[in-house]
Amino acid sequence: MQYTLKMNKRTHQSIAAAGPALRLPGAPLGQFMLGAIVSILLYSCGSSAAPGPAMGAMPPPQLPVIAVFTSPATTYKEYSATLEGRVNVEIRPQVEGYLEKIYVDEGAFVKVGQPLFKINDRIYNEQLNSAQSSVLAAQANVAKAQVEVDRLIPLVDAKVVSEVQLKTARTVLDAAKASEEQAKAAVGNARINVGYTYITAPVSGYIGRIPHKTGSLVGKGEFLPLTVLSDINEVYAYFSMSEPDFIVFKQQFAGNSVEEKISKAPAVELLLADNSAYPQKGKITSVDGQFDKTTGTISFRATFPNAGGTLRSGNTGKVRIPQPLSEVVIVPQEATFEIQDKVFVFAVGDSNKVASKPITVAGKTSTYYFVQSGVKAGEKIVFSGTGNLQDGMVIVPQPISTDSLLKVKPL
């Protein structure tokens, strides 16, 4: 084994200064140098091996701890929903013509019978005049045929003319009367067409988009309606429920039929697109008769009052169905952490050692989890500060009372 020895300037000076004292009489200079170097190395090794001050152990962390508790609570099932007005009427033209007037604007509220659109009616007025003229002509033919019948009756009685002539005259009279009725029907049809040129609101509600402008040619064949009129005093929220959820839903309420069970269901809530709660509650009013084979779901309809017009057709949201629970284990969400979509808590065991435990969540509020399994009532868990904890670590518990927590964060 070989060693390489390096000396700095200070080492050389030390050796030179100690030379006279270290050099033995008659010893060669090389032996003197070697002895000096060994002495310096032994001194350095001895100095570096000297023990330093001992490091103190870190004290266990002081963390807030709370006992798991139970309480009556209400959990919710949420289902995505689309909203529609109670009545959505497509306003379509029944006759063809140029759009002459638009009496309303998009988004306006109209009452039943209020004028909406006017189609140019000149051609239909002319058709009405022609039909009325045809009635006059038919009435004249009826009168003429009646005169002929009246003329022939006494002649037949006097046996001046044959009875066949009278029968022929009466047939002509009947044909004239039929023509008169046909002409009158044409007048009625012409009047209807004239009436179709003046379009009024069939229900009260809000006007939707108006795609056509004044001067546009409109008719029955148009793909787009003139507008859509929505009666939104009440709105329908349509949502779908999976087959397992539907089975659970039916088991919650008494009744021999689905209709009876629905009638006993509690009021439901509506969350709007921004997750704010609609102030008025609704009621489930109907359910489809069969499941959709494509999606495996069944559709429900909930009805919500909307006197203020806050909700509009086409809105989206979530229907929340409450599920009351008589007694449920409750864990603050702040006391939990997640690993791979599983929820855990740190339970405090003997000697104040902590151990992570998975829990099964049955429902939740904004601040609490309703636990189905994993922890029991009375079991102590770390309330906060779990970020640096590991299984087996010892803590100094700082108890938090349930009452004080519920005052700050009520259920």
Q: What is the pLDDT of residue 411?
A: 79
Q: Residue 89 phi/psi, 5° resolution?
A: -110, 125
C-alpha span between 131 and 138 (Å, rounded): 10
Is pLDDT at 189 greater than 60 in this prediction? Answer: yes
Domain residues for the domain of 294 are 78-83+234-324
Higher pLDDT, 25 or 287: 287
Is pLDDT at 242 greater than 70 in this prediction? Answer: yes
* Residue 174, domain member (yes or no): yes
Fill in the amino acid letter for 134. S
C-alpha span between 303 and 323 (Å, rounded): 19
Whether residues 248 and 300 fall in one domain: yes
Query: What's the CATH code of the domain at 381?
Result: 2.40.420.20
Average pLDDT over residues 37-59: 48
Whether residues 296 and 334 fall in one domain: no
Domain edge (last residue) among 286, 303, 324: 324
Average pLDDT of the residues of the chain: 85
Domain edge (last residue) among 296, 324, 352: 324
* Residue 8, domain member (yes or no): no
C-alpha span between 202 and 198 (Å, rounded): 12
Whether residues 316 and 340 fall in one domain: no
Whether residues 204 and 95 fall in one domain: yes
* Residue 47, domain member (yes or no): no
Whether residues 210 and 266 fall in one domain: no
End-to-end CA distance of the chain: 77
* Residue 138, domain member (yes or no): yes
What is the DSSP code (8-state) at residue 340?
T
Query: What's the CATH code of the domain at 142?
Result: 1.10.287.470
Whether residues 315 and 358 fall in one domain: no
Please state which of the ranges 55-69, 86-100, 175-189, 374-388 shows the lowest mean pLDDT: 55-69
* Residue 334, domain member (yes or no): yes
Average pLDDT over residues 238-267: 88
Domain edge (last residue) among 165, 190, 218: 218
Number of folded domains that form the chain: 3
DSSP E strands in 140-261: the ranges are 198-200, 205-207, 217-218, 227-242
* Residue 190, domain member (yes or no): yes
C-alpha span between 304 and 277 (Å, rounded): 13
* Residue 43, domain member (yes or no): no
Q: Which H or E run includes 144?
A: helix 122-157
C-alpha span between 363 and 368 (Å, rounded): 9
C-alpha span between 118 and 100 (Å, rounded): 5
| Residue 88 CB-half CA count within 13 A | 12
Average pLDDT over residues 357-384: 91
Q: Which residues contact 127 (CB under 8 A, 6 or more apart)?
A: 190, 193
Whether residues 213 and 94 fall in one domain: yes
Query: Locate tokens 């006059």: which residue?
Result: 136
Q: Give per-residue pLDDT as tens, 102-139.
A: 999 998 999 999 999 999 999 999 999 999 999 999 99
Work out the widest C-alpha separation in the chain, in whole angstroms.
193
Q: Are 322 and 266 in contact (CB under 8 A)?
A: yes
Whether residues 214 and 301 fall in one domain: no
Query: What's the CATH code of the domain at 264?
Result: 2.40.30.170
Whether residues 310 and 336 fall in one domain: no
Q: Write out the two tokens for 51.
A: 């023990």
Q: What is the pLDDT of residue 56?
A: 56
Whether residues 299 and 289 fall in one domain: yes
